[in-house]
A and B are shown apart, each in its own frame.
Chain A
Amino acid sequence: MSYAELCVTSNFTFLTGASHPEELVLRAAELGLSAIAITDRNTLAGVVRAYSALKTLRAEAEGDLRIRSTHQIDPCSRQETGEPRDLARPEGVVLPRLIVGTRLVLRDCAVEWLALPTDRAAYQRLSRLLTLGKRRAGKAECHLDLADLERGCQGMLLIALPPPDLAQARAPIQRLVRCYPGAVFLGAAPRYDGSDQGWFNACAQLALRTSAPMVAVGDVLMHHGARRQLADVLTCLRAG
């Protein structure tokens, strides 16, 4: 059974993601995922890097081209620190599809939304939505409301990431389901806190009530467990 990761946070989400989009794409190829969506917080910036990495990867699969991520790059200074290392290249590898997307964090709503445009027009609408939000706010911020999503999300798949208190999630999901029937899903990410079974049960119930089908997401922050220390340090910096 193939799996597509739909919720990936790269380092284009400031002080949250601990891996570059290239690394994430490469890892997805190694793991044999069918698709990967780079969804950074209120931005599409990471997608470009992921796309170019995927393009290089494809060229490499055909010819003998080396992509950047095989270089040993110091994650802080982004300088090469050693000789390029060749990765073991399995034969007949299936490269993942790249899904363009973003994670919309709203001002007036505890639910976070993964917006995945399905066509070019939807991509334009998403870009416009982000521009609108960034114009409202100062630097590095984006002020969007649920009402903006209700107006300008035609043609996108919306995946709701509910907060720990599921009761807050019901009303916003219902509002968007009414606007975009069939395009709203409920993302259930494991939390590894010992109560995942109960959490998934509650999510399933919510999905049933709001008629937003459940989707499995991983809420990825890093491409490899070795990045955990970096992720911890970033969390410390963010939380102060």
Chain B
Amino acid sequence: MCMWFPRLACDRVLKARPVEAPFALTLTDKNAERIYCLNAQAETLGLHRGMSFADARAFCPNLLSQPARPDLDARFLGALRRWATRYCPWVGREGEDGLVLDVTGSTHLWGGEAAMLDDMRARAERSGLTLRLGLGDTRGAAWALAHYGQTTGVLDALPVAALRLEAEVVTGLQRLGLRSIGDLKATARAPLARRFGPGVLLRLDQALGDVPEAISPGAEPPHYGVRLSFPDPIGLLPDVMSATERLLAPLCDKLKAQGAGARTLVLTLRRVDQGSQQVELRLASAMRDAGRILPLFERGLGDIDAGYGIDVMRLEATVVEALPVQQIGLSAQVQPDQLNDLITRIGTRIGLENVQRFLPADSHIPERSFIVAPAAFSAAESGWHSHRPRPLRLFPPEAISAEGARPPERFRWRRMSLTTGRATGPERIAPEWWLEDDSWRSGLRDYWKVETREGRRLWLFYTPQNPGWFVQGEFI
């Protein structure tokens, strides 16, 4: 059977905010505002879909309007599709504003076809939806009856447009005097196919049941959520932990079946006094190993106030990533997993974004030779190459008073008096002139590694173009 919502878009909008006046939804098409959908009052005034909005306002000055949102309409139709599964399990979409149901074998559950249709009409009317129904032996027949007929009946008297044909084919058939489906059935098939192509005959056969037409029901996206309710409320931490463990097992099985891993888990605990608390666990990498996830919940659950006790627990994976099954080799790589667990554990305390790692960057300028990235959202790289010594600590250049191109014998830095023991260099680094960088305006830098007699090993540089000495780093 077929359910048609002729004013789906309007009904959706007016459901939230009803108006007692002509109402239209407009859509901008080729720089012109055109009417997308109308309510019943506006239709009685003679407006129709596709006419320009300016014309409609001329006909009907008190027309209320709103821009249309086809994406929301599609979502609304998806919700209706889910609702329609109450009548039968096999429900598909039919165009932009219809549903098609295979009710074979499920009508008796509603007390027969008529009772079921009444139920559908009553529910649609209660929720303010215009609904037209068609019940036929085939998908095509149901569509024809919903759009052009009276729910049930025979097709012969219906116009040819009820066969889901294109507008020009319909006009062509009407020119030949073939106005109804009955006329079309009586005509010889071969000349029809020659003149209008095989489409007409295919639609006719589909409507009459000579050619099968399947209904493809929409697939539900997998839902990663499990819940557990207790006959008696629980309140002790070990109890909650073991309940979490019991919740994790089916969730992880579900994730494994879909080849996915959880990135964010939300555990909702509902107390007997209806209050609810949430524990959010964000993982550094996609995971579906219950044994590893469980200890990470420990800290979050420690802060939970159980009150009079918890009677429902619900665990949901809100962010899910693909995690294909991996072959475990002889040299199983345990290292990254342990690091990710550590990142997650620290991240639960200080926030996952605050755990960062250094990544190499392609520049010979010391300040730009690395970037800092959140550890949970980047992979470690092994591209660290350093042919030249680089200090472990790097700070913004600190000026010292010295002269000449050779490192000074004695200098003061951070209120310390230092004596140069051995100086290695110079390593000349030229500024990246294709980038604007204020700190490199002084031009070339000659870097020296200076070992002081006081024990500090510093990284000094001299700027020959604007003479001056600076300390930029310290080797440890």
- Do A and B pair up? The answer is yes
Residues of A whose CB lies within 8 Å of any CB of B are 192-197, 225, 228-229, 232
B389 contacts A194, CB within 8 Å? yes
Q: Is B449 an interface residue (CB 8 A)?
A: yes
Q: Nearest-CB distance from A236 to chain B (Å)?
A: 10
A192 contacts B424, CB within 8 Å? no
In the bound complex, residues from chain B placing their C-beta under 8 Å from that of A193 are 387-388, 427-428
Instruction: Give the contacting residue for B424; candidates A195, A225, A228, A229; CB below 8 A.
Output: A195
B433 contacts A229, CB within 8 Å? yes
Instruction: Give the contacting residue for A194; candidates B443, B444, B449; CB below 8 A.
Output: B449
Distance of A194 Cα from B444 Cα, bound (Å): 14
Distance of A65 Cα from B447 Cα, bound (Å): 44
Nearest A-chain residue to B389, judged by Cβ? A194
Distance of A228 Cα from B429 Cα, bound (Å): 12
Distance of A76 Cα from B427 Cα, bound (Å): 32
B427 contacts A192, CB within 8 Å? yes
Given contacts A193-B428, A195-B424, A225-B443, 18 further A-B contacts (CB under 8 A): A192-B426, A192-B427, A192-B446, A193-B387, A193-B388, A193-B427, A194-B388, A194-B424, A194-B426, A194-B427, A194-B447, A195-B388, A196-B426, A197-B424, A225-B444, A225-B465, A228-B433, A232-B433
In the bound complex, residues from chain A placing their C-beta under 8 Å from that of B427 are 192-195
In the bound complex, residues from chain A placing their C-beta under 8 Å from that of B428 are 192-193
**Binary contact readout B416-433 vs A (1 if CB under 8 angstroms, 0 otherwise):** 000000001111101001
The interface residues of chain A, by DSSP majority, are classed as helix
In the bound complex, residues from chain A placing their C-beta under 8 Å from that of B465 are 225
Q: Can you identify 9 A-B contacts, CB atoms within 8 angstroms?
A: A192-B427, A192-B428, A194-B425, A194-B427, A194-B449, A196-B426, A228-B433, A229-B433, A232-B433
Nearest A-chain residue to B428, judged by Cβ? A192
Distance of A148 Cα from B37 Cα, bound (Å): 90
Distance of A227 Cα from B389 Cα, bound (Å): 28
A228 contacts B389, CB within 8 Å? no
**Binary contact readout B425-460 vs A (1 if CB under 8 angstroms, 0 otherwise):** 111101001000000000110110100000000000
In the bound complex, residues from chain B placing their C-beta under 8 Å from that of A232 are 433
Distance of A196 Cα from B424 Cα, bound (Å): 8
**Binary contact readout B395-426 vs A (1 if CB under 8 angstroms, 0 otherwise):** 00000000000000000000000000000111
Distance of A196 Cα from B427 Cα, bound (Å): 8
Distance of A98 Cα from B447 Cα, bound (Å): 34
Distance of A193 Cα from B427 Cα, bound (Å): 4
In the bound complex, residues from chain A placing their C-beta under 8 Å from that of B433 are 228-229, 232
Q: Nearest-CB distance from A57 to chain B (Å)?
A: 27
In the bound complex, residues from chain B placing their C-beta under 8 Å from that of A192 are 426-428, 446
In the bound complex, residues from chain A placing their C-beta under 8 Å from that of B449 are 194
Q: Nearest-CB distance from A114 to chain B (Å)?
A: 23
In the bound complex, residues from chain B placing their C-beta under 8 Å from that of A196 are 425-426
In the bound complex, residues from chain A placing their C-beta under 8 Å from that of B426 are 192, 194, 196
Nearest A-chain residue to B425, judged by Cβ? A194
Distance of A139 Cα from B430 Cα, bound (Å): 35
